[in-house]
Amino acid sequence: MAQEGQEVPNRRVILKRYVTGFPSEDDMEVVAGTARLAVPPGSAAVVVKNLYVSCDPYMRTRMTKHEEPSYIPDFVPGEVLMNNGVSRVIVSSHPDFKVGDLVWGFTGWEEYTLITNTEYLFKINHPEMPLSYYTGVLGEFRKYQFMSCTVFPSYLRNVTSFAEIKCMPGLTTYSGFFDVAKPKKGDYVFVSAASGAVGQIVGQLAKLTGCYVVGSAGSDEKVNLLKSKFSFDEAFNHKKEQDLNAALKRYFPNGIDIYFENVGGAMLDAVLLNMRMHGRIAACGLISQYNLEVPEGVRNLFCLVTKRVRMEGFMVRDYYDSYRKFEEEMVGYLKAGKINYVEDVADGLEKAPAALIGLFTGHNVGKQLVAVAKE
């Protein structure tokens, strides 16, 4: 076991170059390095050993250099990638964290991370649950003030404002569905990218609410999963549908009350034609647009007017105070078997670049994450 003060090997995933268009594995690199298992003198800090790190589509937006300030800083070539993760404390000078504590929060895509700002590091409340769930179904969006890593990334050195890290599907789903879409029993609900980290939870919450639920996915395997594992009433493979408008009319002859939007593009255009009067669209993500140099336009927006549809985007920072209520409710659902959760776990940091790219080709089935070390 590594000892405090020891210098240990520390593999890290870095960005090699800024990305334009569709990213590739070669845009990232796993590099060898070292980390000293020590905290700065006089600090209240921790060194963690990372067990799991999350792969999320928002990371792609940070790989492009933006001329105008974004809601979150761009990654910088040569620096470690960062995202949410689950870790074990191995060195601590902080009174609230002791060696051996299991924690989750913002960390590096590396084996060991020094965290000097622990305000946004959280103890795991339910260690009896799979720890990886805290990268997904039991995770929360937080306002993170950026924390230092073993080698503090240059793009964070001058950041003092708070930024929301879009990496946790649990509270995203809960707040987006209940607070934004405001479902009622008997509503007709459509979920795009339905087998992903967010979609699978939305569909099951909708079923628990008494809604009729249809999901779209990108393979027959995922379609079967939606119906057999996640209890969707119907599902279809959007890649096999030449006319998305016709497909939606087939599954929603009476129209759609709620659309949980994860895709954008042609799917959104087709949905707008099929919304019912006073329908609601909760805009969570637009994964079809992230790799386009010129985003696609939407042609059917006038349907919002004629059908009195409310389309609302949301940032989960507005709901983070309800996290503990959400966590306890979701743990109850999971333990009772009322919600099933599927993860796609890549084993080892060397698999992390491929895992991230796979999000944009539909390779993953369920929540994508990377196992960095054994629990």
Contact 241, 267 (CB under 8 A): no
Q: Does position 332 have pLDDT exceeding 70, yes or no?
A: yes
Distance CA 187, CA 98 (A): 48
Burial environment of residue 3 by CB neighbours within 10 A (0 to 12, 13 to 18, 19 or more): exposed
Predicted confidence (pLDDT) per residue in 72-122, tens digit: 788 999 999 999 999 999 999 999 999 999 999 889 999 999 999 887 788
Structure tokens at 371: 């196992």
How many CA atoms are closer than 13 Å to the CA of 187, on its beta-carbon side?
A: 27
Superfamily (CATH H level) for 169-317: NAD(P)-binding Rossmann-like Domain (3.40.50.720)
CATH class of 6-137+342-371: alpha beta
Give the pLDDT score at 148.
Answer: 39
Element (H, E) at 368: strand 367-371
In CATH terms, are 6-137+342-371 and 169-317 the same topology? no
Distance CA 170, CA 63 (A): 24
Give the pLDDT score at 83.
Answer: 92
Distance CA 23, CA 195 (A): 22
- Kindly compute the dihedral angle of the four CA atoms of residues 81, 149, 375, 9, in this order, to the nearest 10 degrees: 90
Its pTM stands at 0.85
Q: Does position 316 have pLDDT exceeding 60, yes or no?
A: yes
Predicted confidence (pLDDT) per residue in 17-34, tens digit: 999 999 999 999 999 999
- Domain locations in the chain as residue ranges: 6-137+342-371, 169-317
Give every strand in the sheet of 256-261, ordered side by side: 234-237, 212-217, 188-191, 256-261, 275-283, 310-313
Q: Does position 153 have pLDDT exceeding 70, yes or no?
A: no
Structure tokens at 150: 């073993």
What would the mean pLDDT of 213-241 be, rounded to a whole number? 97
Q: Confidence band (pLDDT; 50, 70, 90) for 141? A: very low
Distance CA 55, CA 297 (A): 27
Predicted confidence (pLDDT) per residue in 156-203, tens digit: 333 323 334 444 568 889 999 999 999 999 999 999 999 988 999 999
